[in-house]
Structure 1
């Protein structure tokens, strides 16, 4: 563990347990660490740390950047997974992916206990969009929470159009085409092509209404 500078800005990064989310979020955390006076902690599990640990070790040893990790214990045995299976990607079998997600949901108490720890100082939380409950945690701590989205800014523009114009609610059926409002070029889509979290209100639908950072244009 690195010692915190008394006047440094302390930022916690909490990536989702999928490689497509971990890699771009860690890249962003490393960019934050380039700036002097910023102290970075990345929260992850032991099975995922190997994806990026060498990179942040080099950032610290070669460049003196204040960046480190905090390790969580993934409940593999409790959800019926072999030890070390703590993430998923496009090749993960569906039955195993569901168990990884079940274990992911069980990480919340560990993360909260760490964030509310008596000795921890934190000024900002940057958490993946799959951690909607970190909004409430940040509110209790009196600090900002920034949402990390590995998707593109273009996709966010489309989502914002749906939120503001609600065009998808004004068509007669799921198969009727409609034009997405507010884009510089005409783009048509059907309601059938939309993800459920746009068509229906749920806890992940709220995740986009706070400060956002994106992994790509």
Structure 2
């Protein structure tokens, strides 16, 4: 995942925030900016002038989610908004170095920690999942040879996914305690933390969902799921057209996942909702 891609995704979320927050307060304005990577400069005048009320950023604890969240928080903080990242004690180090590095630029980002109840949910000690050893960016905290697993990437197998999301759902009460203490203006949380919708509603603040997949990929996936064009080709190498898109996008059957090729539905949301049940 390139830095340019993450910045584009962050800018997309930023524009969505403008629309939502403008509905709450019309004094939010956007002005042109000649930066090389962002077409719009957002001045959250009301929110930055209101003092200490922050924006909360709460990603699920996984590599493909915490890194973009850090970029987004940095983007908001550079616009004068107080940004606070919510994470667990063993994931703090992922953010802390980058946050310290940006301090000399005048970009301040806070970190608030919530205990992750791994032992209560029969989660194993932190281990090296096959394939992750090749990654240059390590998600193993220093001196963590025998610590509970607090990162999705560190689960030894998918058999413990339900345990992980059950533990994540148990973070609801301490999150709401933080919301009550800090009174944030907005809650930006991961798509894999759907229970945060109820938390935001309880305190009457907007919740904005962070989805790590690009809009283009989601549109392609939705079209393939709806139209199943791979059934109309005679071989794996024959191309088919992805319908309902403004441009001509062609793929082959081998470029699809096994789930897409089989036509089976993969719906993870029941797992997340089930994990939040008492």
Q: Find the aligned partners of 1:137 and 1:109 in 2 and give their Cα distance.
A: 9
1:39 to 79, 82, 98: 82
TM-score, normalization by structure 1 = 0.70
TM-score (norm 2): 0.57
Structure 1 residues 187-196 or 44-53, which shifts more?
187-196
Query: When you count strand as a share of all residues, which structure comes out higher?
Result: 1
Instruction: Give the length in aligned residue pairs.
Output: 188
State the partner residue of 2:184. Answer: 122
Whether the 8 Å CA contact 2:241–2:250 is kept in 1: the answer is yes
Pairwise CA distance, 1:195 = 5.0
Q: Give 4+ residue runs of structure 1 displaced > 6 Å after superposition.
A: none
Query: 1:196 matched to which residue of 2?
Result: 266
Unaligned runs of 5+ in 2: 1-46, 126-146, 233-239, 254-259, 274-278
8 Å contact from structure 1 (residues 17, 104) kept in 2: no
> 2:196 maps to which residue?
134
- Higher share in helix: 2
- Matching of residue 72 in structure 1 with residue 114 in structure 2: yes
Structure whose alpha-carbon radius of gyration is higher: 2
How do residues 1-217 of structure 1 correspond to structure 2 at under 5 angstroms? 7-8=50-51, 10-36=54-80, 38-60=81-103, 62-80=104-122, 81-82=124-125, 83-89=147-153, 92-94=155-157, 95=159, 97-115=161-179, 117=180, 119-158=181-220, 161=223, 167-168=226-227, 176-177=231-232, 180-183=242-245, 184-187=247-250, 192-193=262-263, 196-197=266-267
How far, CA to CA, are the matches of 2:204 and 2:164 in structure 1?
A: 31
1:52 deviation in Å? Answer: 1.7
Offset, 1:203: 8.3
User: SS of the counterpart of 1:103?
Assistant: helix
Secondary structure of residue in 2 paired with 1:122: coil
Higher mean alpha-carbon deviation, 176-185 vs 124-133, is at: 176-185
Distance 1:160 1:33 in 2: 34
Give the superposition deviation at 1:54. Answer: 1.2
Distance between the aligned counterparts of 2:230 and 2:113, measured in 1? 47
Which runs of 5 or more residues in structure 1 are unaligned? Answer: 206-217
Query: RMSD of the TM alignment (CA)?
Result: 3.3
Larger RCO (CA within 8 A; separation ≥ 6): 1
- 1:33 touches 1:67 (CA, 8 Å); kept in 2? yes
